[in-house]
Amino acid sequence: MSFPQFLQSFGLDIPSVAYIVGALLFGVIGLIAWRHGRRARRPTPKWLGVALMFYPYATPQTWLMYLVGAALCVWLYFAWNG
């Protein structure tokens, strides 16, 4: 029995490479937004950064993670430049 099959026997699935890359990408963007928002004392970019860091834990599908991440990044762009 391979390791992925062993995990699946417990009801756990290993995420795809695209999911892991997206989670890391949006997590890094969120960390940068949180740090800059905290230093500039701008609450909207700071909390959007927190959302970008932690929302991948709540999204089970890869396409949904990218959709929500792109929407949060657009919102962050307009919040920072608006």
pLDDT for the residue numbered 71? 95
Query: What string of pLDDT tens digits covers the 82 residues of the chain?
Result: 777 777 777 776 777 788 889 999 999 999 999 999 989 998 888 999 999 999 988 888 889 999 999 999 999 999 988 7
Q: Please enumerate, as own/partner, the contacts of 23-28 that have beta carbons within 8 Å and a separation of 24 or more.
A: 23/56, 23/65, 25/69, 26/52, 26/53, 26/55, 26/56, 26/65, 26/69, 26/72, 26/73, 27/52, 27/53, 27/56
pLDDT for the residue numbered 59? 86
pLDDT for the residue numbered 73? 94
Cα–Cα distance measured from residue 13 to residue 64, given in angstroms and rounded to the nearest whole number: 17
For 31, residues 6+ apart whose C-beta sits below 8 A from its C-beta are 49, 53
